[in-house]
Structure 1
Amino acid sequence: MNPILRTFGLAALGALVFIAIGLVVPAWFLFTMTKAVGFGLVALGLVGLLRGGLLSFGQGLYYCGGAYVSGLMANWAGVTDMIVLLSVGCIAGGLIAALVSPLVARYRGIFFAMLTMALSMVAYGVLTKIAAIGGSDGFNVPKPTLLGYHLAETGFGLYAIAVVIAALAAAVCRVHFDSGLGLIASAARENELRIEYLGASVFSVSTRSFILAGGLAGLGGTLNGVALGHVDPFFSYWTTSGEMVFIAILGGYASVTAVFGTALVTELVRSFSGQYFPESWQMLLGIFLLLVIVFLPRGVGSMWAKPAKNHAIRSIKEPAT
């Protein structure tokens, strides 16, 4: 069977299973899972960057950009259809990343991480000063619709959309990571100089991964902005970006589905610890992260994902001479 068709077939099957699960779980769990999908989408983009040896602490910029652009469209233009809002949010996140990429894609290591975080914090500072869009308080987002119909008050409709988007994004990323371009990105993590010798541009590879991560972040920001019914500058704050990095590291880059599971675990720990242990949920997540780093250094997803090739660069054939 064609690997691409198999990937999308498994994604469709998984989406149907989780939609069916949504019919029997309580409304609070639907909301938690919807938020987890939003964070998972951002973390999935971070996984793509990690595969290329890049770590961004500024994904909140694109997460916030998607949420703000789609939220303002809903408020000012009266567009509340989720398909339109998600598309606009994804495009907004990708475009912002495309504008930023010429500046950041040339850097590596701590310089890349700190520069992305600085840009995110600049956006946070600017948004808090613009009173026309709510300043530091942000603004409310109207209730969403789908093809002219209001989504159910229980949150099931929004949850079902989130599941479909997560399945589609995971399938697309899996196909991309296994493609020639995806293997080049992984090879760049191992040996950038070798990639340049083979005729590929590390700058172009980094730019593509960065734009993809920005689009996924904008998609996640739109979803969570609608789910919460409110958008504010904190979407761009460095701690928000840090949570997404935490989720991506927990999931690892061996699997495209693990980030959604770790995002759900993070949300559940935050919810229950906030209720029963108000000041200790960060400690519990920290202990969980330490255990994963010690016993599963490639992330939770390595438990079921196929072992990665030792050197992706070996998969790239020498150009004919």
Structure 2
Amino acid sequence: MNTTFNPQRTGMVAAACTVVALAVGYAFPQWQFLLAVALSKGLVALGLVLLLRSGLASFGQGLYYCAGAYSVGMAMTYLEWNNLVVLLVGATLLAAVLGGILGFLLARYRDIFFAMLTLALSMILYGLLIRNPVLGGSDGFNVYAPVIFGEKLSRPALFAVTVILTGVTVWAIQRYLQSRAGRLGPAIKDNEVRVEYLGASARRNIHLNYILAAGLAGFGGGLSSFSIGHIDPDMAFWTTSGEFVFIAILGGTRNAYAPLLGAIVLELIRSLAYQYAPNTWQVVMGASMLALIVFLPGGLISLTQRALEKRRARQHAQEAGL
């Protein structure tokens, strides 16, 4: 994989993907909700990619996804805030600060210990939410359309905002992955001791990635709450966190665009399976996911790598023929 840092190309790819998503959404309005939810979940999986590149799997990103969503719901319910920017910034900062605090503990652990600790922390939040009526109990909160520039956002406008914000975020994370700090992740996964010998702090880099992953999850939770219109404790349940891990693996970890692709494909398969096989949709979905994992172990994004390799092979063959 070519890791040469090219900000212009990164921006062009992000802009092209954003335009395509907007075009598809407005050409097929019935898919706007699915795309908006998929992109929101893709942002959470994007944070997981940062950790997976360092060899760590978090089964507790539902903690920050739920924290971001609940910050939006509670701010609307108790503080009567409705400004989109304020709500999303608050959701992101709350999740990032929480991730920063817990990261001091989690950055010390690796492998199964890291995964189980993240899962345990997420389930603690789930238990607190489901038994606390002040926090909505098992019913949660309703979330209403936010306001920007004094105007309440309609569904199509909210979809456009979600796509644009996602595009900007993916562009920023892709640039991070191509920076020195971003490239340390695979090096830590390969040999953490060697990274330490070279003068870089593996623990500090993992802590930074964990904070970024938490912030992305909170941001995705805030966006998701607007699209769905309701939040509940299940957002912190272990199955939700497991879905984010699956999305990250399904898309791949080669770049920042992969988890968004994985999230869209997963939501599309789920929607079609539920529509055409309502009684056996879980079986259809499971079989589809199993086939994708078996035949594309590198994730969906590996298809682009295969296409590039075939293109280079043809070019070399043509040059050799000349």
| Alpha-carbon contact 1:56-1:116 (below 8 Å) kept | yes
**1:20 maps onto 2:23 in alignment:** yes
> Compared with structure 1, are the counterparts of its residues 280 and 97 closer, same or farther at alpha carbon in structure 2 (3 Å cutoff)?
farther
Equivalent residue number for residue 255 of structure 2 = 255
Equivalent residue number for residue 103 of structure 1 = 105
**1:291 maps onto 2:294 in alignment:** no
Equivalent residue number for residue 124 of structure 2 = 122
Q: Which amino acid aligns with 1:19?
A: L
RMSD: 1.8
Q: Which runs of 4+ in 1 moved over 6 A?
A: none
1:233-292 Cα deviation digits (max 9, x unpaired): 111000001111111100010132222222122222222322332343333333233323
Out of 141, 146, 149, the position equivalent to 2:148 is: 146
Q: Which amino acid aligns with 1:97?
A: G
| Alpha-carbon contact 2:5-2:179 (below 8 Å) kept | no
**1:227 maps onto 2:227 in alignment:** yes
**1:67 maps onto 2:76 in alignment:** no
Out of 45, 48, 73, the position equivalent to 1:46 is: 48
Q: Unaligned regions of 5+ residues in structure 2, if any?
A: 309-322
> Compared with structure 1, are the counterparts of its residues 105 and 284 closer, same or farther at alpha carbon in structure 2 (3 Å cutoff)?
farther
Alpha-carbon distance between aligned partners in 2 of 1:138 and 1:227, rounded to the nearest angstrom: 15
1:128-185 Cα deviation digits (max 9, x unpaired): 1111121111011122222211112xx2111111111211111111111111111111
Alpha-carbon distance between aligned partners in 2 of 1:130 and 1:90, rounded to the nearest angstrom: 23
What's the secondary structure of 1:55's corresponding residue?
A: coil
Note the 1:206-245 alignment, pairs <5 A. Answer: 206-245=206-245
Note the 1:293-312 alignment, pairs <5 A. Answer: 293-305=293-305
What's the secondary structure of 1:300's corresponding residue?
A: coil
TM-superposed deviation, 1:21: 2.8
Alpha-carbon distance between aligned partners in 2 of 1:2 and 1:99, rounded to the nearest angstrom: 31
How many residues align structurally? 304
Q: Percent identity?
A: 44
Note the 1:131-142 alignment, pairs <5 A. Answer: 131-142=133-144
What's the secondary structure of 2:138's corresponding residue?
A: helix
Alpha-carbon distance between aligned partners in 1 of 2:98 and 2:144, rounded to the nearest angstrom: 24
| Alpha-carbon contact 1:269-1:281 (below 8 Å) kept | no
| Alpha-carbon contact 2:25-2:35 (below 8 Å) kept | no
Alpha-carbon distance between aligned partners in 2 of 1:157 and 1:18, rounded to the nearest angstrom: 14
Alpha-carbon distance between aligned partners in 2 of 1:290 and 1:61, rounded to the nearest angstrom: 27
Alpha-carbon distance between aligned partners in 1 of 2:9 and 2:276, rounded to the nearest angstrom: 43
Equivalent residue number for residue 173 of structure 2 = 173
Alpha-carbon distance between aligned partners in 2 of 1:258 and 1:2, rounded to the nearest angstrom: 18
| Alpha-carbon contact 2:261-2:300 (below 8 Å) kept | no
1:8-43 Cα deviation digits (max 9, x unpaired): 2331233233223322212x3101110001110001
Equivalent residue number for residue 87 of structure 1 = 89
> Compared with structure 1, are the counterparts of its residues 281 and 100 closer, same or farther at alpha carbon in structure 2 (3 Å cutoff)?
farther
| Alpha-carbon contact 2:140-2:231 (below 8 Å) kept | yes
Q: Unaligned regions of 5+ residues in structure 1, if any?
A: 308-321
Alpha-carbon distance between aligned partners in 1 of 2:284 and 2:112, rounded to the nearest angstrom: 27
TM-superposed deviation, 1:78: 2.1
| Alpha-carbon contact 1:75-1:142 (below 8 Å) kept | no
Alpha-carbon distance between aligned partners in 2 of 1:40 and 1:281, rounded to the nearest angstrom: 22
TM-superposed deviation, 1:50: 0.5
| Alpha-carbon contact 2:274-2:281 (below 8 Å) kept | yes
User: Under a length normalisation based on structure 2, what TM-score does the superposition of the two structures give?
Assistant: 0.89
Alpha-carbon distance between aligned partners in 1 of 2:300 and 2:282, rounded to the nearest angstrom: 19
TM-superposed deviation, 1:102: 1.1
Alpha-carbon distance between aligned partners in 2 of 1:205 and 1:288, rounded to the nearest angstrom: 36
What's the secondary structure of 1:189's corresponding residue?
A: helix
| Alpha-carbon contact 1:93-1:215 (below 8 Å) kept | yes
| Alpha-carbon contact 2:26-2:32 (below 8 Å) kept | no
Out of 60, 70, 90, the position equivalent to 1:58 is: 60
TM-superposed deviation, 1:72: 1.2
